[in-house]
């Protein structure tokens, strides 16, 4: 069994082991694969594992020996699953491996915005506190989360984990979700999308990206928000119209935003959010705790092991 991993570096930059997958076949790991290298590197593979390297229909049709594609992520839009289905190629993904880590990042951003710990640490290293006339100082509003309202857009695994943490902080939680009101976890109020944006102090995005949610956050919805409101996006970059969010931040329409994902990654140098007022950006690392990556690696091996035993799990190609 020939197994080729097309872009293994993000999952395993050297602190994990491929050993569990190596027990299943002859493994070749490429740190990164450019589009023009895909055909050459994928040739002869029975199994391809990919995170962000695209496998379109043309590539899949040129690989007659390919039996299985394992996506090393939850989102699987990098693979033409329709073509895979027609060709009889199994495609699997890795669901729910990073739930706790992504929910944790939501609050890393939220606490960064409300407390500015890193800002004050840096200022104090430069002597700011030592030169202060008073016993304390602050340059930004300090906000207590208890009593504020968190709006969660999408109440899947990560949305529910985020809601639980919000409740632990003493926040009220509203959710926009397809779930029936009777099926909501205790303490969560179901709300329309527009009403959620109008009434919440924090809005956190956890919905899938599709035609209906593309640019779900645009100038119209941003204008509904409180001027003190905070937007958090750890979901998918294109959920947000980045130009319109940048304008809203710079104009003071909303107070701040914390984002871990952008519409193009890595971003162009002229992405408007990179220089927007009160916009805090992390480089798509909410998923990347060691614990989450270890979990991903184990599930990827289990997916492949199940396939080899004749039982496809986490199948996304139908």
pLDDT for position 175? 98
Decide if 247 is catalytic.
Answer: no
Decide if 206 is catalytic.
Answer: no
pLDDT for position 12? 98
pLDDT for position 318? 80
At residue 170, φ and ψ (nearest 5 deg) are 85, 15
β-pairing, 230-233 with 202-205?
parallel
pTM (two decimals): 0.95
What's the maximum distance between 2 C-alpha atoms anywhere in the chain? 74
Element (H, E) at 49: strand 47-50
Decide if 305 is catalytic.
Answer: no
Token pair belonging to 104: 């944790």
Helix, strand, coil content of the chain in percent (nearest 5):
35, 15, 50
Q: Which of 109, 206, 221, 236 is catalytic?
A: 236
CATH 3.40.50.720 residue window(s) in the chain: 2-96+290-308, 99-281
Which has the closest alpha carbon to 41: 24, 14, 59, 19? 59
Residue partners of 22: CB distance under 8 A and separation at least 6: none
Q: Which of 19, 265, 277, 291 is catalytic?
A: 265
Angle at 203 between CA 273 and CA 269, to 5 degrees: 10
CATH class of 2-96+290-308: alpha beta
Q: Which of 172, 206, 284, 293 is catalytic?
A: 284
Q: Which architecture characterizes domain 99-281 according to CATH? A: 3-Layer(aba) Sandwich (3.40)
Token pair belonging to 285: 């690392």
What confidence tens digit (pLDDT) does each residue in 208-242 have?
Answer: 999 999 999 999 999 999 999 999 999 999 999 99
Q: Per-residue confidence of the chain (318 residues) as pLDDT tens digits?
A: 999 999 999 999 999 999 999 999 999 999 999 999 999 999 999 999 999 999 999 999 999 999 999 999 999 999 999 999 999 999 999 999 999 999 999 999 999 999 999 999 999 999 999 999 999 999 999 999 999 999 999 999 999 999 999 999 999 999 999 999 999 999 999 999 999 999 999 999 999 999 999 999 999 999 999 999 999 999 999 999 999 999 999 999 999 999 999 999 999 999 999 999 999 999 999 999 999 999 999 999 999 999 999 999 999 998
């Amino acid at each position: 069994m020939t197994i080729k991993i097309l872009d293994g570096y993000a999952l395993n930059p050297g602190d994990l082991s491929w050993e569990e997958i190596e027990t299943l076949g002859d493994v070749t790991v490429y740190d990164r694969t450019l589009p023009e290298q895909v055909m050459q590197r994928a040739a002869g593979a029975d199994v391809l594992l990919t995170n962000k390297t695209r496998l379109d229909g043309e590539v899949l049709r040129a690989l007659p020996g390919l039996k299985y594609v394992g996506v090393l992520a939850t989102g699987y839009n990098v693979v033409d699953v329709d073509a895979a289905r027609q060709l009889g190629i199994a495609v699997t993904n890795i669901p729910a491996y990073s739930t706790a880590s992504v929910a944790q990042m939501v609050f890393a951003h939220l606490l960064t915005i409300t407390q500015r710990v890193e800002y004050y640490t840096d200022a104090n290293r430069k002597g700011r506190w030592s030169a202060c006339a008073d016993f304390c100082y602050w340059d930004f509003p300090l906000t207590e989360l208890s009593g504020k309202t968190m709006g969660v857009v999408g109440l899947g695994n990560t949305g529910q984990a985020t809601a639980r943490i919000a409740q632990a902080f003493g926040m009220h939680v509203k959710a926009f979700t397809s779930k029936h009101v009777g099926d909501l976890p205790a303490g969560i109020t179901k709300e329309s999308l527009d009403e959620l944006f109008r009434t919440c102090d924090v809005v956190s995005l956890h919905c899938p990206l599709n035609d209906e949610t593309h640019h779900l956050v645009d100038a119209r919805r941003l204008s509904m928000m409180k001027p003190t409101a905070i937007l958090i996006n750890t979901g998918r970059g294109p959920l947000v119209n980045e130009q319109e969010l940048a304008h809203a931040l710079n104009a003071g329409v909303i107070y701040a935003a914390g984002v871990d994902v952008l519409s193009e990654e890595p971003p162009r140098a002229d992405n408007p959010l990179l220089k927007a007022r009160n916009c805090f950006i992390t480089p798509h690392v909410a998923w990347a705790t060691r614990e989450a990556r270890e979990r991903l690696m184990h599930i990827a091996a289990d997916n492949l092991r199940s396939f080899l035993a004749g039982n496809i799990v986490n199948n996304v190609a139908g």
